[in-house]
A = this chain, B = another copy of it.
């Protein structure tokens, strides 16, 4: 059996709205929202409802279809063509979850090489756990929608059956499930 957290779409939208309040009451301002795809696409798009800035994307994958699995994420899409929105600009990088921080740390390291004026980070969820990397000193603002415990999260956008997912979320969202069954029911 495996413990799963299942949040409804509405929960997550609200978590982002709550996180936005932390940005607005901070001294951090930014010129552009940079989503880390795939996971950051939906949080970044929701965030833009509350803070209207141009929205661009990079796309990283831990597993590239044409290559063996790797600890270092692959760049599916990088910043070519939008460097002028990053170099010398204040960028808010958005992802869905800070888990072991592997993808986030990789993205931050690579983006700092593009010389943004400032690089802030927004994550919808932060898992309370030991991370594989610290945020570098250059990243002075890290905003978290909500801290969550270190269990597997099934996000609604990964659900093959969204009606069942939302029912599970409405019942409290924490479940003990058969691992193989959960793997079949979700993309991840």
* Chain A interfacial positions (CB closer than 8 Å to B): 8-10, 13-14, 17, 35, 37-38, 41-42, 44-46, 48-50, 52, 54-57, 59, 61, 65, 76-82, 85, 156-160, 162-163, 166, 186-187
Q: Are A13 and B159 in contact (CB under 8 A)?
A: yes
Q: Are B13 and A156 in contact (CB under 8 A)?
A: yes
Q: Are B55 and A37 in contact (CB under 8 A)?
A: yes
Closest to A74 in B: B54
| Chain B residues whose CB sits within 8 angstroms of the CB of A9 once the complex forms | 8-10, 13, 156
| Minimum Cβ distance to chain B for residue A110 (Å) | 13
| Chain B residues whose CB sits within 8 angstroms of the CB of A45 once the complex forms | 37-38, 41-42, 157
| Chain B residues whose CB sits within 8 angstroms of the CB of A158 once the complex forms | 49
How many copies, total?
2
Q: Are B162 and A48 in contact (CB under 8 A)?
A: no
Q: Are B54 and A157 in contact (CB under 8 A)?
A: no
| Minimum Cβ distance to chain B for residue A118 (Å) | 18
| Minimum Cβ distance to chain B for residue A36 (Å) | 11
| Chain B residues whose CB sits within 8 angstroms of the CB of A166 once the complex forms | 10
Partner pick for A52 among B37, B80, B187, CB 8 A cutoff: B187
- A175 and B115 alpha carbons, distance in the complex (Å): 48
Inter-chain pairs besides A17-B162, A56-B57, A80-B81, 18 sampled, C-beta below 8 Å: A9-B156, A17-B160, A35-B57, A37-B56, A37-B57, A38-B55, A41-B41, A41-B45, A42-B42, A45-B157, A48-B187, A49-B158, A49-B160, A49-B186, A54-B65, A54-B76, A57-B59, A76-B82
Q: Are B13 and A41 in contact (CB under 8 A)?
A: no
